[in-house]
Amino acid sequence: MERKLTVELGQRSYDVLIGPGKLAGLGEFARGIDGVEFAVVVTDSTVARLHGNQAVDSLTQAGLRVGLIEFAAGEENKTLGSYGHVMDALLTLEPPIDRNTLIVALGGGVAGDLAGFVAATALRGLRWLQCPTTLLADVDASVGGKTAVDHPAGKNLIGAFHQPRGVLIDVATLKTLSAEALADGLAECVKHAVIRDGQLLEFMEGNVDAILSRDADILTDLIGRNVAIKAAVVSADETEAGQRAHLNLGHTIGHAIEIADGYGEVSHGQAVSLGMLAACHLAAARGLIELDLCRRIEDLLRRLGLPTRRAGMDTAQLWRIMQHDKKARGGQVRMILPVTLGAVAAFDDVTPEQLAAALAELAD
């Protein structure tokens, strides 16, 4: 089974190819981009060991000159320091890069964000491909052109919008993920269902065992459904001027949890799971949704191996961090809350007291 979708952005539209064994076709995919003769794979130290050789071999067999640049794995390394390391390595390659050089981002969301930011800024912009190897990157970071590095003040505060020329998703790479890493991506899948597609939620509820056992056909279908949602939102609102902000359900609180605990202590998916549940309880307290929907989402998150309870969260600390979020306006926190299954809206009037009450629901 395989899927092909298109992110519709006029002259900058690009294809997303999904299926088992797709990494073997990376060279052919890259070769199809006009003028490319040199491809530089940017990846982290873990992914380089697992999938680096296959990517390099495919590119080489397609007749391309190939370079490989590694950086230290982990969200805590998505920094200006790592950006400088990759850029230094890229700009000192021999023979030197030019504007026909292609950057290939191989790995999870950290690799995609960092390599994409390098591509956006090297020589004032190079073409690049996304080759995600985690479910989280497959369904979220690989589509949309958001590139960035983190700053102590917040996640992804330094970056640019820079769309890739294509996305190649090999579901076979998901076999190398830990259960925790797979669950990280599943949190984003649940989020997409809540904001856009109740049938996707039903699909996940009915296929939990197949998803967790890494069934290739089910994963291809799951990723395809999620990419279709993300692509539709990005096509309608590329630079987050409107409805693309809906994709931030669970992220305002989730990012704050990540920062408060220190990058790498709580995974992105775990933080989004908690943030999404808190957002659901905020919505239920306002009468926007029934408490039964909160319980339904909580049950699915738990079955997928994601956290639904966390005691001791410091509301004041989280609120301060949330005020520095990219979506905040004049220090006022903007929250995305569900208004029904499959639809959300933005709210600017959430108070610290309301947040505290929602977080208390997660501490039971």
Q: Which domain holds residue 84?
A: 3-176
**Candidate list 51, 146, 192, 310, residue with the active-site label:** 146
What is the torsion angle, in degrees rounded to the nearest 10, for the CA atoms of residue 44, residue 169, residue 344 and residue 246?
Answer: 50
pLDDT per residue rounded down to tens, the chain (364 residues): 899 999 999 999 999 999 999 999 999 999 999 999 999 999 999 999 999 999 999 999 999 999 999 999 998 999 999 999 999 999 999 999 999 999 999 999 999 999 999 999 999 999 999 999 999 999 999 999 999 999 988 889 999 999 999 999 999 999 999 999 999 999 999 999 999 999 999 999 999 999 999 999 999 999 999 999 999 999 999 987 788 899 999 999 999 999 998 877 899 999 999 999 999 999 999 999 999 999 999 999 999 999 999 999 999 999 999 998 766 666 689 999 999 999 999 999 999 999 999 999 999 7
Q: At how many degrees (to 10) do helices 352-362 and 268-285 cross? A: 110
| Residue 230 designated active-site | yes
Q: At how many degrees (to 10) do helices 352-362 and 315-322 cross? A: 120
Given 176, 208, 230, the domain boundary residue is 176
Examine the domain organization and report whether 102 and 186 are in the same domain: no
Examine the domain organization and report whether 156 and 289 are in the same domain: no
pTM, rounded to two decimals: 0.94
Phi-psi label, residue 240: left if phi above 0, alpha if psi -120 to 50, beta otherwise: left
**Candidate list 70, 75, 240, 298, residue with the active-site label:** 240
Asked if residues 71 and 83 have their Cβ atoms less than 8 Å apart, the reply is no
Examine the domain organization and report whether 168 and 194 are in the same domain: no
Given 136, 152, 176, the domain boundary residue is 176
Examine the domain organization and report whether 142 and 94 are in the same domain: yes
H or E, element range at 199: helix 198-206
**Candidate list 51, 248, 258, 361, residue with the active-site label:** 248
Domain count, the chain: 2
Examine the domain organization and report whether 106 and 204 are in the same domain: no
Examine the domain organization and report whether 29 and 137 are in the same domain: yes
Closest by CA position to 86, among listed 106, 63, 100 = 106
Given 124, 148, 176, the domain boundary residue is 176
Intra-chain end-to-end CA distance of the chain, in Å: 43
CATH number for position 200: 1.20.1090.10
Examine the domain organization and report whether 187 and 136 are in the same domain: no
Angstrom distance (rounded) from CA 70 to CA 120 = 18
| Residue 248 designated active-site | yes
Instruction: Give one DSSP letter per residue of 113-166, joined into a string.
Output: HHHHHHHHHGGG--EEEEEE-SHHIIIIITSS-EEEEEETTEEEEEEEE---SE
The pLDDT, as a whole number, for residue 324 is 83
Identity of the amino acid at 154: G
| Residue 302 designated active-site | no
Tokens read off for 166:
């294509």
Angstrom distance (rounded) from CA 75 to CA 128 = 21
**Candidate list 70, 75, 188, 361, residue with the active-site label:** 188
Examine the domain organization and report whether 220 and 123 are in the same domain: no
